[in-house]
């Protein structure tokens, strides 16, 4: 058995499982650990839990230590130097006339690698750019092309709901989203209202869709004739979350009813 915790890489990276070892770790503690790109830091995002050996697909690495004051100083220094690297890279991109947009730059915690994140419409031949950057910074260079959703996750922001972007707070992975989900949730098919800061369809359309589907199962469809306490009428609208139906009658009255107060008239 393993005693493990989930750690989010840096402030808004992916979640990884690590062995806790003998360390007394709690939620929101910052820790140092071994990562594929060298030593890195991250924030604990779960309580410790016990998992069986059979549930482990690959060897779990251990947390090295809690972040110390000296580590915090190193993190701040790395961020300052990454800002300078950002400016230098933008200059080199202009010199090489590359059609790419630099989004972010970060050093690994131990400065063994310098990673440049960028967006571009297609594939970019950045071999000469890498050579220039390697000669300037004297460390391993990685240029990583990301999508616009990844860009929003890295830069952060406030969504149309007034809260921090879901992708920067709790979403682990991006899933496929389509316009059908907006239709099922009866949202206005206005790109400005159902798109996020990244310009793509809102992520919440995906993870809220299951609830809307479940709540829609018992609601009558528009055009169906229903029986109510004031007579029979036709359903012309529904409110999925409130479980309400809007009924119009032959005498032009239009009334909202709760689902429990209407019954579909068979054969009509």
- pLDDT tens, residue by residue, 181-226: 999 998 888 888 899 988 899 998 988 899 999 999 989 999 999 9
Q: Whole-number mean pLDDT of the chain?
A: 88
Q: Is residue 132 part of a domain?
A: yes
Q: Is residue 219 part of a domain?
A: no
The answer, yes or no, to whether residue 123 has pLDDT greater than 60, is yes
Distance of CA 16 to the CA centre of its chain: 15
Q: Which of 67, 96, 117 is the last residue of a domain?
A: 67
Q: Are 166 and 232 in a shared domain?
A: no
Tell whether pTM > 0.75.
no
How far apart, in whole angstroms, are the C-alpha atoms of residue 176 and residue 171? 13
Which is higher by pLDDT, 57 or 19? 19
Q: How many domains does the chain have?
A: 4
From residue 23, give the alpha-carbon distance in Å to each of 30, 64, 69, 161, 172.
12, 9, 17, 39, 26
Determine the average pLDDT of the residues in 136-161: 89
From residue 252, give the alpha-carbon distance in Å to each of 53, 159, 238, 247.
68, 40, 18, 10
- Per-residue confidence band for 67, with pLDDT thresholds at 50, 70 and 90: very high
Other residues' Cβ atoms within 10 Å of the Cβ of residue 108: 20
Q: Are 8 and 55 in a shared domain?
A: yes
Q: Is residue 182 part of a domain?
A: yes
% of the chain at pLDDT higher than 70: 96
How far apart, in whole angstroms, are the C-alpha atoms of residue 159 and residue 152? 11
- Residue 57: which domain range? 2-67
The answer, yes or no, to whether residue 125 has pLDDT greater than 80, is yes
Q: Is residue 220 part of a domain?
A: no
């Amino acid at each position: 058995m393993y005693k493990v915790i989930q750690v989010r890489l840096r402030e808004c990276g992916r979640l990884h499982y690590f062995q806790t070892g003998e360390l007394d770790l709690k939620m929101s503690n910052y820790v140092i650990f071994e990562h594929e790109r060298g030593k890195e830091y991250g924030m604990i995002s779960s309580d410790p839990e016990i998992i069986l050996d059979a549930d482990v697909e690959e060897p779990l690495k251990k947390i090295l230590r809690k972040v110390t004051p000296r580590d915090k100083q190193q993190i701040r220094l790395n961020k300052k130097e990454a800002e300078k690297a950002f400016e230098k890279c933008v200059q080199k991109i202009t010199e090489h006339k590359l059609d790419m947009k630099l989004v972010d730059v970060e050093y690994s915690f131990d400065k063994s690698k310098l990673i440049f994140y960028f967006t571009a419409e297609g594939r970019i031949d950045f071999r000469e750019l890498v050579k220039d950057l390697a000669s300037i910074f004297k460390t391993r260079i990685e240029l990583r092309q990301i999508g616009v959703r990844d860009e929003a996750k890295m830069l952060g922001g406030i969504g149309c709901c007034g809260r921090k972007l879901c992708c920067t707070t709790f979403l682990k992975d991006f899933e496929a989203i389509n316009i059908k989900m907006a239709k099922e949730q009866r949202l206005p098919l206005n790109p400005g209202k159902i798109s996020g800061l990244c310009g793509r369809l809102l992520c919440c359309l995906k993870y809220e869709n299951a609830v809307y589907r479940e709540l829609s199962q018992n609601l009558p469809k528009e055009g169906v004739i229903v029986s109510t306490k004031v007579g029979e009428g036709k359903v012309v609208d529904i409110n999925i979350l409130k479980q309400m139906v809007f009924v119009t009658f032959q005498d032009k009255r239009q009334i909202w009813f709760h689902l429990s107060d209407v019954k579909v008239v068979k054969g009509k």
